[in-house]
Amino acid sequence: MNPWFTIARDAARLALDAQSVVALRMARFASGAEFDWREAQRMTTEKFAALAQVQVATAFSLMSGKRAPAIAKKAIGIYGKRVRRNRRRLSRR
Protein backbone atom coordinates (compact mmCIF):
# COMPACT_ATOMS: atom_id res chain seq x y z
CA MET A 1 0.00 0.00 0.00
CA ASN A 2 1.16 3.50 -0.77
CA PRO A 3 2.41 5.18 2.45
CA TRP A 4 0.84 8.48 1.42
CA PHE A 5 -2.64 6.98 1.83
CA THR A 6 -1.89 6.25 5.48
CA ILE A 7 -0.45 9.72 5.92
CA ALA A 8 -3.55 11.28 4.34
CA ARG A 9 -5.78 9.28 6.69
CA ASP A 10 -3.75 10.34 9.72
CA ALA A 11 -3.76 13.97 8.56
CA ALA A 12 -7.55 13.88 8.18
CA ARG A 13 -7.89 12.48 11.70
CA LEU A 14 -5.55 15.18 12.98
CA ALA A 15 -7.66 17.85 11.27
CA LEU A 16 -10.87 16.55 12.85
CA ASP A 17 -9.28 16.32 16.28
CA ALA A 18 -7.84 19.83 15.94
CA GLN A 19 -11.27 21.19 15.02
CA SER A 20 -12.76 19.63 18.13
CA VAL A 21 -9.99 21.14 20.28
CA VAL A 22 -10.67 24.57 18.80
CA ALA A 23 -14.41 24.16 19.44
CA LEU A 24 -13.80 23.05 23.03
CA ARG A 25 -11.48 25.98 23.67
CA MET A 26 -13.86 28.50 22.14
CA ALA A 27 -16.72 27.13 24.23
CA ARG A 28 -14.55 27.40 27.31
CA PHE A 29 -13.55 30.96 26.51
CA ALA A 30 -17.15 31.96 25.80
CA SER A 31 -18.69 30.29 28.86
CA GLY A 32 -16.62 31.95 31.56
CA ALA A 33 -17.39 35.28 33.11
CA GLU A 34 -13.79 36.30 32.59
CA PHE A 35 -11.31 35.25 29.93
CA ASP A 36 -9.22 32.18 30.75
CA TRP A 37 -5.74 33.62 30.31
CA ARG A 38 -4.04 30.48 31.57
CA GLU A 39 -5.60 28.39 28.82
CA ALA A 40 -4.73 31.00 26.18
CA GLN A 41 -1.14 31.12 27.38
CA ARG A 42 -0.95 27.32 27.53
CA MET A 43 -2.34 27.11 24.00
CA THR A 44 0.31 29.37 22.50
CA THR A 45 3.14 27.82 24.51
CA GLU A 46 2.12 24.34 23.37
CA LYS A 47 2.01 25.44 19.75
CA PHE A 48 5.58 26.76 19.84
CA ALA A 49 6.83 23.69 21.70
CA ALA A 50 5.18 21.34 19.19
CA LEU A 51 6.64 23.29 16.27
CA ALA A 52 10.12 23.13 17.78
CA GLN A 53 9.78 19.40 18.42
CA VAL A 54 8.68 18.75 14.83
CA GLN A 55 11.52 20.86 13.45
CA VAL A 56 14.11 18.95 15.50
CA ALA A 57 12.62 15.59 14.52
CA THR A 58 12.56 16.63 10.87
CA ALA A 59 16.16 17.81 10.95
CA PHE A 60 17.36 14.55 12.52
CA SER A 61 15.31 12.53 10.04
CA LEU A 62 16.79 14.43 7.10
CA MET A 63 20.31 14.01 8.45
CA SER A 64 19.79 10.28 8.87
CA GLY A 65 18.58 9.96 5.27
CA LYS A 66 14.93 9.14 5.87
CA ARG A 67 12.43 9.55 3.05
CA ALA A 68 9.58 12.05 2.87
CA PRO A 69 6.79 9.63 3.93
CA ALA A 70 8.65 8.73 7.15
CA ILE A 71 9.25 12.39 7.94
CA ALA A 72 5.61 13.31 7.29
CA LYS A 73 4.39 10.41 9.42
CA LYS A 74 6.65 11.51 12.28
CA ALA A 75 5.44 15.13 12.09
CA ILE A 76 1.77 14.13 12.02
CA GLY A 77 2.43 11.76 14.91
CA ILE A 78 3.93 14.50 17.07
CA TYR A 79 1.12 16.95 16.37
CA GLY A 80 -1.53 14.24 16.67
CA LYS A 81 -0.33 13.11 20.07
CA ARG A 82 -0.50 16.65 21.43
CA VAL A 83 -3.90 17.39 19.88
CA ARG A 84 -5.44 14.17 21.24
CA ARG A 85 -4.04 14.94 24.69
CA ASN A 86 -5.61 18.42 24.58
CA ARG A 87 -8.94 17.01 23.37
CA ARG A 88 -9.06 14.58 26.29
CA ARG A 89 -8.05 17.27 28.79
CA LEU A 90 -10.55 19.84 27.55
CA SER A 91 -13.46 17.43 27.24
CA ARG A 92 -13.09 16.30 30.88
CA ARG A 93 -14.08 19.70 32.21
What's this model's pTM, rounded to 2 decimal places? 0.87
Structural domain span for residue 72: 3-92
| Number of domain units in the chain | 1
Neighbour tally for 90: CB within 10 Å: 17
Residue 7 is predicted with a pLDDT of 96
* 87 contacts 24 by C-beta, under 8 angstroms: yes
Residue 32 is predicted with a pLDDT of 75
Residue 93 is predicted with a pLDDT of 63
Residue 73 is predicted with a pLDDT of 96
In the chain (93 residues long), the average pLDDT of successive 10-residue segments reads 93 97 92 84 95 97 96 97 95 80
Secondary structure (DSSP) of 20-79: HHHHHHHHHHHHSSS--HHHHHHHHHHHHHHHHHHHHHHHHHHHTT--HHHHHHHHHHHH
